[in-house]
A and B are shown apart, each in its own frame.
Chain A
């Protein structure tokens, strides 16, 4: 029964992975990648690691890939043209790395698993939620906290980088007719009692936000 499930989900995972690389439409590639993540989660369940499986679906399939799909939809990316391969010199290196990967897999299958020191039955409860939680908050507390600080830094850094320059993109167009915008939509730092912005064009909005100088600075660069 387990073998059958393994064959089904492993096949799905490999198939989706191949399809992800082969698809020329980025959205189809993203959908294939979601398929890979979900098949992997199912494999984790058959390996008695339900917590990892759930987290795999929630974090990768449910959050990260939604962002990827979101960006593809926003940018409306067209199908990719098949360009002549520029980095031809990298092919031998890729082949070498792939060979090492296969050798590792073969080593595990033929030597590690055959060794009498490897437990043959699933005797550990490492995949269970309780043991993962206990491990994270006792033995591995420091790495856990460092990881969270690292992620926080990444978030703050991304915002700091993205906020440089004007708040509105250069080619943003405000639809003709007076627009009334709550000030905190465009400027999160505005005090709550600041009056709303009434404007006809993007330039007017920027003038009211005091962003003209910033744009000039960006233009000069």
Chain B
């Protein structure tokens, strides 16, 4: 009975997190199209619903009813498997992010945690799940039996492998400094003046933050690192042969990945749900968290509107010869400072005098 109750609670949590993320992902697509439109001096889609707000729904219906074409010479099983792997791997990591602080529900008198699954190795779980996501793209490229798809798949597996290393090394600084892999504790440690001064991004890990940000953009295959789908040379890259709902799944996976990467950046570097007056009004934490995530998503769109694409050898030498060494230097610096006890000193100064608002 206890087991069943636990299971129902978990399922409810997953459903809520899934719905929130999916809705926001759908509107990220719309926001991207409109913001890109404004950047390029045009309007973007604004016909379906007020200001184009129903456009995601229209897109979805279009994707469902489009003709589904399977190439004759494709490797059937893998061709069907690839979008499934991509989507599942992208969605699996949303359960570990703390969306807000503990919230006391007034009418049923219960305190709930706004994180679906809180466990010891949450950060490693995120890295593991993301690393499996590579297969979606690589297998899609191989199974389509198309040279452009294959090139896209190869490029993406090389790129994601390389930048995963820089990404993981960039995160080690945060782990060293907080001493835990549990995302919830990492967020709690970042409270400070007004819930802002304790953010890892400001005074303990500015370099780690930059490394993570760059590597994360490369991990999600977005501009300026979108070589797997460079349309000027590879038609559409790994998803050239995919149509209708299977293409939509890849599309979805890309945006969910953007979203989870932004959530991780918020959790580790921007203090998660910390912000002014969260102690008095816990619900504010949810808005702070999602607001910070939206900032990152805007950054993604902004980059897409402004930056050109890397050449492949530039991409590789940037990843291996610049990002990885800098990440290692960051680890050495963080470890040294940690060893001298500087962080503890500053942390004490920042957290002792939280003032009347604390």
Interface residues of A (CB under 8 A from B): 1, 27-28, 31, 34, 38, 41, 50-51, 53-55, 57-58, 61-63, 66-67, 69-70, 73-74, 128-129, 182, 184-185
Contact = CB atoms under 8 A, between A and B. Distances in A.
Nearest to A51: B121
B131 A57 contact: yes
Interface of B: 3, 75, 77-78, 81, 119-121, 124-125, 127-132, 134-135, 138-139, 141-142, 150, 153-154, 157-158, 161, 164, 181, 313, 317
Nearest to A34: B135
A63 B127 CA distance: 11
B159 to A, nearest CB: 11
A58 B128 contact: yes
A27 B131 contact: no
Contacts of A62: 127-128, 130-132, 134, 164
Contacts of B157: 66, 69-70, 73
A63 B119 CA distance: 24
Given A61-B131, A184-B317, A73 B125 contact: no
Contacts of B121: 50-51, 53-54, 129
A129 B120 contact: yes
A184 B318 CA distance: 13
Main SS at interface, chain A? helix
A155 B300 CA distance: 36
A210 B131 CA distance: 40
Given A51-B124, A74-B154, A185-B313, A69 B138 contact: yes
A41 B129 CA distance: 12
Contact of A57 (B81, B132, B142): B132
Given A54-B124, A55-B124, A66-B157, A73 B142 contact: yes
Contacts of B124: 50-51, 54-55, 58, 129
A62 B77 CA distance: 21
A178 B145 CA distance: 30
A184 B314 CA distance: 10
A129 B134 CA distance: 26
14 contacts: A1-B3, A28-B78, A50-B124, A51-B120, A54-B124, A55-B124, A62-B164, A63-B161, A66-B138, A69-B138, A69-B139, A69-B157, A73-B142, A73-B157
Contacts of B127: 54, 58, 62
Contacts of B129: 57
Given A1-B3, A61-B131, A69-B138, A128 B78 contact: no
